[in-house]
Structure formats: structure tokens, C-alpha cells
Structure 1
Amino acid sequence: MHSQNKKNVLFLCIDDLRPELASFGADYIISPNIDKLAEEGRAFHNHYVNSPSCGPSRFTMLTGHYGIAGNDAIFKRAKRLTKNTSSVTPSMPEWFKNNGYTTISLGKVSHHPGGLGGKNWDDPNEIEMPNAWDKSLMPVSEWQHPRGAMHGLANGEIRGKSKTMSVFQSTEGEDTIYPDGHITNKALEQLEKLSKSNKPFFFAVGLIRPHLPFGAPKKYLDLYNDIEIPKIPHPEKPTLPSTWHKSGEFFRYNLWGKDPRTDEDFAQEVRKHYAACVSYADAQVGKIITKLKETGQYKNTIIVLWGDHGWNLGDHNIWGKHNLFEEALRSPLIISHPNLKRKGKKTNAIVESVDIFPTLCELANLPKPTFVNGTSLISNLKNPKKKGHFAYAYNGSGKTIRTERYRFTLLKKGNKELYDHKNDPYETENIATEKPKLVKKLTLLINTKIDQNKNQIKK
């Protein structure tokens, strides 16, 4: 067993997880294990990702930098590394590795599960994050390859023609009839090995659900037989220019001729299957944390649970992510560490994903990375009432900032959106024309961030 002077890090990434958790206010969701972690840690109820898609969001979390909006953001960073190593700053796992940690990635931590490129995401010559991991693992079992597992349904079904694959599914069986069950079992094996090492570990585990298609063992859907999922609070399509889109990722699947935008019963059915996937992911989190406790390393481990972005379940007439509304950008963040005081007290501070890298370094007593865009959240861990800072995000359509009261979005074509969360928490009334002075101030603020982002990309 390694020295207790250095804290381990267990980093749990959950794909497409909006704050659809009991501990974050969705009391109809069955998520006891994540809720328990929130009771033992600090839940950040106003955590925002820096981009509403898997690749660029994970880029910011893993590097502490703002970046580009495409899902290939991490691979593009890898290409820059091959050309000039000195021009690219170390990633978070690389920073820990350089400071004496064993670093292991399992499942979907970067954009591709297993961290490789190629046709089926299994080419060892195409590494998504060079220099980051001692081992990068992805058990594919009957799903043939990482690409198959990423979009897999029960018992080895992989996506060929999307229209022939069901958008949701509920099949009888154990957790291992879907890919996350195998990821979890591999995580338990690795924790057993890591606990016996003389080195501290940075172990990142990425679960795939609730990413599309919404497939989970039937026992998790059965949990919701007698539970009423609340109706969508604002299903209307925005009338003014915005980052609304046609939900192409969702509608590429087989929907049996139904449309949740016009069929309320079908919309509720989809949302129940999403909830089942959340409960399935929650069960995997429970198994992993239980194993950590069994190894004796729990009291020496910093635990982070992070959703890589939110997901619109019909909000704003969108079924998916890739937009700059609140639902796509807000995701759960929980940080637990051995010396945390006032456990279980949530914080409403505005924070963002780039803050995670410097925070973990400070918690682990590692040298501070001076090259990151993020700010350490230590003060918020010490005092849950401490205020945060505004959060910046971007996609291919525009840029946005979220302050304590407002969301301001600047679209590429020059259109502006301003929402007052004090009076309009669902972002349904654009008041940009009513507050020209505030819009001018926020435009200057967002342009400063855009310039900072451009300079960072050049590096």
C-alpha cells in the first residue's frame, strides 16, 4: 500500500448526464449512490461545461483550457503534439503522471472509449491523449470494438444503420448485458490492483449511459413503474434566433414513427427510459465506490463525479445537446475529499469544467498549473456559501456566458440573447433589446473570453 501522504484521485465521468438526480432536485429520479456521494462531498449545483458536446467538453476538463467546438478537439491537440511537443501544455492526467502518479483511463474518459482512433476506435497508432495514461482500457466484450460499445444495445447489438436501432430499449438481464456493466467490472479489478501499489493513482472511469440509445436492464426501468415523470416545463420551440437545432442525433434512431415533440405520451416514455439509464449508471457508481471502500483507500482518495454536459429532454423543443441553453450546459459536479468540512452542504456558486484541473492539483498538494484557464474551487469546498465566477461556453453557433443572474449568448450572425434567471429560469423570454447597457457590458465580457480562447488555440 502506498504512502498516505499523497491522495489518490477517482474520477467518474458520466456521459450525457444532466442534473437529473434526486440530490440535485429531481426527486422522482432513483439515484441513491450518487446522492450518497453528494452527502459525503460537495455538490456544485451550478456547474457548467464549456461546450455542450462530448469531445470539446472533455477537452476542457482534461486540459484546463478552453478550446474548439468540434468533437475532434482532443485528437487535434494530439496532432499538435506530434508536430511540436513544447507548444502544448500537459493535460491533467499527464500532470499527475509527471508528479508520481499511476494514471489509468477506463471506458469513455476522452471522446472515444479507450482513447484510440481509427475506423472502429481501436487503432493503437492513433492515440487520443499522448503522454497522459499509463494504461487506457476499454472492455468491448461482445460489442466487437469501442465504437460498437459506444452505441451498443443489449447482448452485443451495435449500431449499423441508425434507423434500424431502437432509440430506447429495456431488456431482462444482469448489468453486463450492456457495456457499462463490463466497464464497472474492469474498474473493480483495477481498484484492487491499484490499492496494492506503492504509488498513488489517478483513476478515471467513464460510463457511457445515459448516452443514446437509451438502453438499460429492465430492472432499472421497472423502478419507474409507479413514478410520474413531471411534464416538460417549456417544450415550445424558440421564436427568435437561437442555438435551437433539429435534434438530428436523436431522430437518426428508430422511433417507430413517433415524435416526442408532438406526442406527449411518447415524450414521457422517452424520459422514463432516460431515467432508467441514470439509475443504471448510478448503480455502477455505487459498485465502484463500495469497492474503493473495501480496498481501504476510500479515506485517502479524492472522488470527483462529473457529467460531461447536460441534455435537453424536450426543453425548448430539443431532444439532445449541442445548444447553448441552460439544459445542455448545466451538469452535475460532486467533489469529495478526506479533509472536507461541512460535508453534504451544496453550493450554488457558478463554476465551470476548466476549474477542475487546478482544484485537483491543490487538493492533492501538487504544483499549481499556471497555464490553465480555470480557477481552483478550494474556497468553495471550504465554504459552500462562497460565490463563484461567470461560466463561459461555446459551440459552432455562438458563445455564451452565465452570470449569477443572467445568461447572455452572442450568436455568430450577430444576434443576441439575454435571459434573466431571476424571473425566467427556463430561458423563454429574450430581453436583449430591453437592456442595451447590460448587453453592451456582457458583449465586452464575452469578447474578452473569445480573444483569450483564440490565443489559447494558437498555442
Structure 2
Amino acid sequence: MNSKLFFSIGVLIFSLNSCHNAPNNIKPNILLICVDDLRPELNSFAANHIISPNIDELAQKGISFQKHYVNAPSCGPSRYTLLTGQYGPATNDALFQRAQWLQDSTVKTYPSMPEWFKKHGYTTVSIGKVSHHPGGRGGRDWNDSTIIEMPNAWDRHLMPVGNWLHPRGAMHGLANGEIRNKAEQMAIFQSAEGNDVKYPDDLTVNETLNQLKELTNYNDNPFFLAVGIIKPHLPFGAPKSYYDLYKDVTLPPIPHPEKPERQTTWHQSGEFMKYDRWGKDPNTDPIFAEEVRRHYAACVSYADDQVGKILKALKQSGAHKNTIVVLWGDHGWHLGEHAIWGKHSLFEESLHSPLIIYDPTNEKKNQNISSIVETLDIFPTLCDLTGIEIPEFVEGTSLKRIIHGPEQVDKTAVSYTPNAQTIRTNTHRLIVHNDGYVELYNHSKPEQETKNIADQHPELVKELTDLIQNKLH
């Protein structure tokens, strides 16, 4: 055979084989890890007493947004903003409300983030608590397949429940299949003997590993895989081995632990206080307060291990080279600051949560970004990083130019509850109550959110109030 012809045939065969083995779409995958009630109490966010090696390793590879703020201080509305890229109702049923709007032709609605990526060729999979209900369904036990929290969003939305019987049973993360019925009969914290399988997040992680195999071995499309880890949500329960990590750890003092004197968004920590506390109050019992904080820390380390298992599996699959990883806390959590134990306020502690974005194509590593960013920004950022059109309806800003370049963005963060709205700038926080009362705090002063200076700065109050109105309306 002519040598030139033989060479040409060889090149053709090689080319055909290469085309067959190449992915049909080179767009990056997305792995979104949502962690419930995770304040930025991580070693990579300057909490040196916390043991969080897996999340810290992700932070070293990626970009940590040290001033990330959620748009609402509770699970449902915060996840609404994450998954739609829009401000929305300030209630936990926000996504179910949106599902009803989708059935009403008179109400203008837009695709959710997973639906948008699905329209652009992605396989979308949700596991665990990504929307407000783990598994994304309604009904008495949150497993009614006719009541979908996010219609049209997921190719698969999964919630393994094991001994917990149903998603509602697994929601509060109690050990050994225990289901919360009456909170007052459940201990505020627990440490079960045994390994990670004692708690339901282990089921979520194992299903995630199964889905990763499916998505990387048998799926020709890029994937959008969202995983929701329940811990450290109340009650604070994790295997005892995680609590033992903190036996000899000295916890830092609780900053500004006093109840505010003037009108604020302070509340009585109702979600926390309704659990069985053996008659103890952390605001008056410092020994009990420290126990609560240690159990919260144990839950953080437990959640960190779950993140580590997922990231290890992603690397073993080889897909890590083409997968953008986002780790996001759905809101902050007070551990005694302002005498609050919980979320639901508009203080810094309720709204400040961790955000880490790892882009494998980015040469910048281990960067701590001090620009203010919002959960609202994640949807357009992921579009920008994957080369997908940013839809006009999203209300956030792409962070790609921060992630890939030296540019800082001068942003503000707006958040809300049913009764008040707030805006955070680099120097101040303004809170405007529905009844017209205002709070203004200077974050460049040591007093920060303990001294209301609204009376002294009426012009700044007016300026920031107008900014809130412009962003929300």
C-alpha cells in the first residue's frame, strides 16, 4: 500500500476515534454544595478554632468571598434567591409560591437557575436540601410527587431517607432514624456514638457519589449537580468523634452578647428555645452556652467531612479538571451575639455566610476577596464562567471579573424579612423597619452593630433608604 495513503488512513482513523472519545460539549460542569445554617465559622474564614480541612482546601484552590451576604436570613427565601437570581418573598414557602405562579398565565415568571442550565444542554440533578424541602416536594411528609417545589428545574431531584422514612423525617438530622415530632421533646444537641451513617447526611453524600459516577461515566452532557447538606441545622447533632475534636479547644469570647437596648430586629430565639434545653438558658448560663457552641462546631466539622467525601469523589472521577465548584452557606447564625441564638434577624451574624468558588481554569488561587457580594450574584456568575448567556431577568452581578482578574467591585448587599429591609455597604449597615423606624450602624468603628447612629446622620439614612428602594422595587 502506498505509504502516503496508509498514513492518511491512519490519521483519519485516529481523528474519528478522537472525535468519538471527546465530550460532545466542553462546557464546564457545575457542582453546587449548599450547607444549612453555616455561618462563616471556618478556619479559612479566620475562625482558627474550627476544624474544617476539606472546605479550607477548597478555599486554597479557589476564591473565598469574605464579605458574602445572603438576601434573606432564613432557608426558604435565601434559597429562592440562589435558585432564581431574583429577590422574592420573605417566607419559607417562597419557592412553592413561585410554583403556583408558574400555573397562572397572568403572572410573569422566569426560568430558575437549574432550568436555565437545562435549557442550555446541562443534565440537572438535585440531592438533599437544595430548595427549602429536602428532595423538593411538598405534602405532609414532603414526598408528594404531585407537589413540586421547583417545576421544570431538575432531571432528577433526589432525597434518600433510609430509616428516617421520608424527607420530613430526615430534615432535622437526628441520629439513628429518629424523627422530630415535637421540638420540645428533642434535645437541643446530641452526640451519637458511631460513625457518619448515624445521621441522614451520610445518605445524601452516598447518593451524591452514585450520581457523580452516573454523570461522569454515562452522561454526554455537562452536569449541574446541586447537593444540600443539612448540618449544622438544629438540633446540633453529629457523631461523638466530631464533638471530641473540640474537647481541648479554647473558644473565643462571644462578641457583644448583650440584648440591644433600642428597637432592632432582635428576637427571642424561638426556633432554638423551643427545644429541650433542660431548663437552661445560654444567655444566663455561660457553661451551657459554651456547650452549645462546641456542639455547633462539631456539626461544622461533620459537614466539612461530608464536603470532603464529595470533593474526593469528584477528583477520583477526573471531572474536577472541568468542574466549577461552589460552596455556599444559606445564611448565617447567631451563637449568642446580641443575645440571639439562631437566624431571622437583620444583624451581620444572620446575613453573613461563606461563599467559595473554584474555577479550574482560573490561575488565581487561595484569594480572599473583600468586596461585598450577594447570593443574588451566583446565578449570573455561573452563566458567565460557563459561557452561557446571562439572562436579562437576573438581578445580581457576575463576579467573573473579580474571580479572574484584579478588579474589585463596589457593591452593596440588600436583605429583608417580612418586617424590615437592610442594606450593607463597606462602611455601614442601615435597617429600615416597615413602621418607619431606622437603625444605622458604622462598621468602621469598634461599636459596629451595637450603637445606632441614625439620628446623627439623616442624609446618609436617606441615601441608603433610596438605594434599598431602587434595588427592591
TM class, shorter-chain normalised? over 0.9
Q: How many residue pairs end up in the alignment? A: 451
Contact 1:347 1:384 in 2 (8 A): no
Contact 2:293 2:335 in 1 (8 A): yes
Instruction: Confirm whether residue 440 of structure 1 aligns to residue 462 of structure 2.
Output: yes
Contact 2:71 2:376 in 1 (8 A): yes
1:384 deviates by 5.2
1:304 deviates by 0.2
Query: CA 1:190–1:388 in structure 2 vs 1: closer, same or farther (change >3 Å)?
Result: farther
Query: CA 1:384–1:46 in structure 2 vs 1: closer, same or farther (change >3 Å)?
Result: farther
Residue 159 (structure 2) aligns with: 138
CA distance in 2, matches of 1:145, 1:359: 34
1:224 deviates by 0.4
TM-score of the aligned structures, taking structure 1 as reference length: 0.97
1:37 deviates by 0.3
CA distance in 2, matches of 1:384, 1:335: 16
5 Å-filtered alignment, 1:117-136, equals: 117-136=138-157
The counterpart of 1:242, out of the listed 240, 264, 268, is 264
TM-score of the aligned structures, taking structure 2 as reference length: 0.94
1:153 deviates by 1.0
Letter in 2 for 1:372: V
Contact 2:173 2:231 in 1 (8 A): no
5 Å-filtered alignment, 1:277-296, equals: 277-296=299-318
CA distance in 1, matches of 2:132, 2:254: 29
Instruction: Confirm whether residue 413 of structure 1 aligns to residue 435 of structure 2.
Output: yes
1:383 deviates by 3.0
Offset from partner CA, 1:37-95 (integer Å, 9 cap, x none): 00000000000000000000000000000011000100000000012298210000000
Offset from partner CA, 1:195-246 (integer Å, 9 cap, x none): 0111110000000000001000011101101101112111100111110001
1:342 deviates by 1.8
The counterpart of 1:74, out of the listed 70, 95, 99, is 95
Offset from partner CA, 1:320-369 (integer Å, 9 cap, x none): 00010000001000000111122111100001011000000011111111
CA distance in 2, matches of 1:450, 1:375: 15
Moved segments of 4+, more than 6 Å: none
Residue 91 (structure 1) aligns with: 112
1:387 deviates by 2.8
Residue 5 (structure 2) aligns with: none
CA distance in 2, matches of 1:148, 1:31: 27
1:175 deviates by 0.6
Contact 1:4 1:300 in 2 (8 A): no
1:425 deviates by 6.2
Residue 383 (structure 1) aligns with: 405
Residue 255 (structure 2) aligns with: 233
Letter in 2 for 1:124: S
- After TM superposition, the structure 1 stretch with the greater mean CA deviation from structure 2, 229-238 or 29-38, is 229-238
The counterpart of 1:357, out of the listed 364, 370, 379, is 379
Instruction: Confirm whether residue 199 of structure 1 aligns to residue 218 of structure 2.
Output: no
Instruction: Confirm whether residue 431 of structure 1 aligns to residue 446 of structure 2.
Output: no
1:435 deviates by 1.1
Offset from partner CA, 1:305-328 (integer Å, 9 cap, x none): 000000000111100000100000
CA distance in 2, matches of 1:417, 1:350: 20
The counterpart of 1:266, out of the listed 281, 288, 291, is 288
Letter in 2 for 1:323: S
Offset from partner CA, 1:404-440 (integer Å, 9 cap, x none): 1100110111111111101036410111111111111
Contact 2:162 2:203 in 1 (8 A): yes
Structure 1 residue ranges without an equivalent (≥5) = 452-459
CA distance in 1, matches of 2:138, 2:253: 40
1:3 deviates by 4.0
Give aligned-pair identity as a percent: 59
1:393 deviates by 0.4
SS in 2 for 1:43: strand
The counterpart of 1:63, out of the listed 71, 81, 84, is 84
Considering only CA atoms, is the larger Rg found in Structure 1 or Structure 2? 2
5 Å-filtered alignment, 1:159-198, equals: 159-196=180-217, 197-198=219-220
Letter in 1 for 2:56: D
Residue 148 (structure 1) aligns with: 169
CA distance in 2, matches of 1:111, 1:364: 26
CA distance in 2, matches of 1:119, 1:224: 38
CA distance in 1, matches of 2:426, 2:129: 31
- After TM superposition, the structure 1 stretch with the greater mean CA deviation from structure 2, 418-427 or 199-208, is 418-427
Computed over aligned residues only, the root mean square deviation of the Cα atoms, in angstroms, reads 1.2
CA distance in 1, matches of 2:385, 2:31: 13
Structure 2 residue ranges without an equivalent (≥5) = 1-21
1:301 deviates by 0.2
Instruction: Confirm whether residue 41 of structure 1 aligns to residue 42 of structure 2.
Output: no
SS in 1 for 2:191: strand
Contact 1:142 1:155 in 2 (8 A): yes
Offset from partner CA, 1:85-134 (integer Å, 9 cap, x none): 98210000000000101000000000000000001100001000000000
Residue 358 (structure 2) aligns with: 336
SS in 1 for 2:422: strand
CA distance in 1, matches of 2:54, 2:356: 12
Letter in 1 for 2:180: R
Query: CA 1:85–1:139 in structure 2 vs 1: closer, same or farther (change >3 Å)?
Result: farther
CA distance in 2, matches of 1:85, 1:361: 28
